[in-house]
Structure 1
């Protein structure tokens, strides 16, 4: 432990947290295990303060669960797992960026000369399938996956595709041609659908792109904090102290 002794309230105050939250983070393995005073009080040091800064920096870019897993791996000295988790987050971010690019290209097709015909609604499944060169069974599969939401004709119970449903089917077709799995397509089209109209899609895509940029920046900032934490853990371990776990060894 560093000679600088800190109480739970000292760590909590820096981030506007409760002292119980700090204790919970230690119990969850996000912070290294603290030493105890003769009276049983937790005694934190600078390595714990840095661990908390690191975790809170990781959350915006990586999400709470992954950030917690990264800190647990770091605190037990498992650098391979730390790097693997970070790589997985960056790979997911790249996939999201590629999906956004694919949606942007697909929406560009809707503004082409063929768009008025593609976007005509109130048609049955066979008509949509012919327009896209698909089998009706494919559209039914997409419906089960939550990608398209046709209505039902109250008189015949046949599927009726509105203009919005035709748009979603067209986007799904473009994304499938790009090799995207159904679950990712469903998520992407849900964001498009939430825009409410074709005119609002540009704003939706810009918000989506801005969100990805914020995640990227958050990951960069978190990497700096994580590097400081790993370096501090390494120095603590090298000095023969036990900040928690087996200590991190950097070579």
Structure 2
């Protein structure tokens, strides 16, 4: 099948795309073979171009909407992807700003307790305890007194939470970022991850442009939807 070979796909994949509504329905010959036209080829190009920027599921939904003549639904899905990309960019910028604003954490032991740390951040001790219940800071305990002990990494986490909270982020939004700082072994390795994150957002943004261009060609080539005549 020329359509499959031209895109490095199997004939079964093309049939699956048609069955899923990604491609418009194909006419059949008398012997039952599907007949694919240049319109089907453009639909396939549009779908494959949409996937890198929007993801497989959303790209599928966009094509399904267009092929059932629900173009407004398709464009809404495109808009929603752009909104999500913008939110991801804002999150990245907030994290980068929070990291820049972190006070240097001493390399020596420098343990501190809840009261001094709260005063240092300008918050109440109860706020630190709330962050602890949310898993955002994980202080140890003094074996003699049972008091919370914040070591250098705990102070760093508390500072990062504080900066992100000031940026308007909810605790549940902050949790995965703190987890990434811990898994990276600190802020410095995370800076490399943030550069990678920025590169991925840039690539996704460019992919959305490519997908939009291919989708626009497909929309222009599709026949106008049939409108029922008024009775």
Q: Deviations over 1:88-112 (max 9, x none)?
A: 11111111111111111110112xx
Q: Deviations over 1:54-113 (max 9, x none)?
A: 111111111111111111111111121111111111111111111111111110112xxx
Q: Distance in 2 between matches of 1:158 and 1:52?
A: 63
Q: Distance in 2 between matches of 1:89 and 1:119?
A: 46
Structure 2 gaps, min length 5:
none
Q: Deviations over 1:37-62 (max 9, x none)?
A: 22222211111111111111111111
1:72 is matched with which residue: 40, 61, 64?
64
Question: Which residue pairs with 1:216 in the alignment?
Answer: 205
Question: Which residue pairs with 1:5 in the alignment?
Answer: none
Q: Distance in 2 between matches of 1:10 and 1:92?
A: 36
Assess if the C-alpha contact under 8 Å between 1:191 and 1:204 holds in 2.
Answer: no
2:10 is matched with which residue: 6, 12, 18?
18
Q: Structure 1 residues 155, 78: closer, same or farther in 2, change over 3 A?
A: same
TM-score for the superposition, normalised by structure 2: 0.82
1:182 is matched with which residue: 150, 171, 185?
171
SS in 1 for 2:23: coil
Range with greater deviation from structure 2 (169-178 or 56-65): 169-178
Equivalenced residue count is: 223
TM-score for the superposition, normalised by structure 1: 0.76
Question: Which residue pairs with 2:218 in the alignment?
Answer: 229
1:30 aligns with 2:19: no
1:44 is matched with which residue: 4, 29, 36?
36
Question: Which residue pairs with 2:105 in the alignment?
Answer: 116
Q: Distance in 1 between matches of 2:114 and 2:190?
A: 25
| 1:33-182 matches, cutoff 5 A | 33-110=25-102, 114-116=103-105, 128-132=117-121, 133-134=123-124, 135-143=127-135, 148=136, 150=138, 161-182=150-171
Range with greater deviation from structure 2 (123-132 or 10-19): 123-132
TM superposition shift of 1:120: 6.6
TM superposition shift of 1:13: 1.6
2:196 is matched with which residue: 207, 212, 223?
207
Structure 1 gaps, min length 5:
1-8, 238-245
